[in-house]
Amino acid sequence: AAGVIQSPRHLIKEKRETATLKCYPIPRHDTVYWYQQGPGQDPQFLISFYEKMQSDKGSIPDRFSAQQFSDYHSELNMSSLELGDSALYFCASSQWGGDNSPLHFGNGTRLTVT
Amino acid sequence: AQTVTQSQPEMSVQEAETVTLSCTYDTSESDYYLFWYKQPPSRQMILVIRQEAYKQQNATENRFSVNFQKAAKSFSLKISDSQLGDAAMYFCAYSSSGGAGGTSYGKLTFGQGTILTVHP
């Protein structure tokens, strides 16, 4: 079965650079969630989208922005990168009426800022 | 705001034995979901088990079962017949129901995690 695809798997950037992380949800999933997991930390919710509209916002820095496109894939754009942005970034997807639909996580993108 | 607390940073168990991981949470909502996720060294987040708050019956998935005490706001995970492949970080997580299209469902609040070691 198709899973949530995240690209790239690994990304190395320097301070003050920009990064774009991509997430391709499971087919027919219309809701996407982004999480950030710092080293030794639990995942923190960043932002979510439903039918291409932002549905909820968590602890996402103003330097970050995200959107969901017409094909339901999502991109997380990160600017003016800081050392503290080094983390594992997860994307997850679910289907509308998701109370009964499991949340599927991708394998994550590991971002290293040097 | 909801909070999730896992008071056991590390736990260990012998292969084939049983272990229980603890989780408590705080919420003012009456309808919500609770989850246990497993994160092995590969870092993938794998759903172990899910409990809907309005269901009094404890969820069970093969060797994994929960003890859900709604009044006490407690949600523990019991792993029976532990296997070496069960070794991982385990996160307890909470989500509300509702939101546009039920989107609150995927907005998870995680606990700090419990590292489970399984000894052969």
Give me the pLDDT at residue A102, please: 75
A57-110 pLDDT, tens per residue? Answer: 998 999 999 999 999 999 999 999 999 999 999 999 988 665 566 789 999 999
Tell me which chain A residues have a C-beta less than 8 angstroms from the C-beta of B45.
Answer: 43, 90, 92, 105, 108
Interface contact A75, partner B, CB < 8 A: no
Per the DSSP assignment, residues forming a β-bridge with B64 are B61, B79
Nearest one of B84, B63, B70 to B27, comparing CA atoms:
B70
Give me the pLDDT at residue B99, please: 55
Give me the pLDDT at residue A24, please: 97
Q: Are A27 and A13 in contact (CB under 8 A)?
A: no
Q: Is the pLDDT of residue A2 over 90?
A: no
Q: How many domains does chain B have?
A: 1
Tell me which chain B residues have a C-beta less than 8 angstroms from the C-beta of A58.
Answer: 107
- Per-residue b or e along A34-45, where b marks 16 or more CB atoms closer than 10 Å to that residue's CB: bbbbeeeebbbb
Q: What is the CATH number for B52?
A: 2.60.40.10
| Cis amide bond preceding A8, omega within 30 | yes
Q: Is the pLDDT of residue A29 over 70?
A: yes
Give me the pLDDT at residue B102, please: 60
Q: In whole angstroms, what is the distance from residue B13 CA to residue B84 CA?
A: 10
Q: Model confidence at A13, in pLDDT bands (50, 70, 90)?
A: very high
Cα-flanking dihedrals φ and ψ of residue B100, to 5°? Answer: -60, 120
Residues of chain B with pLDDT under 50: none
Collapsing DSSP to helix, strand or coil, A108 comes out as coil
- Per-residue b or e along B34-53, where b marks 16 or more CB atoms closer than 10 Å to that residue's CB: bbbbbbeeeebbeebbbbbb
Q: Show the domain range for B29.
A: 3-119
Give the residue carrying structure tokens 């003050």. Answer: A16
Fold of A5-113: Immunoglobulin-like (2.60.40)
Give me the pLDDT at residue A85, please: 98
Q: Model confidence at A1, in pLDDT bands (50, 70, 90)?
A: low
Nearest one of B87, B85, B77 to B50, comparing CA atoms:
B77
Interface contact A43, partner B, CB < 8 A: yes
Q: In whole angstroms, what is the distance from residue B104 CA to residue B96 CA?
A: 6
Give me the pLDDT at residue A43, please: 96
- Written as six digits, the tokens of A56 are 């909820």
Q: In whole angstroms, what is the distance from residue A103 CA to residue A30 CA?
A: 12
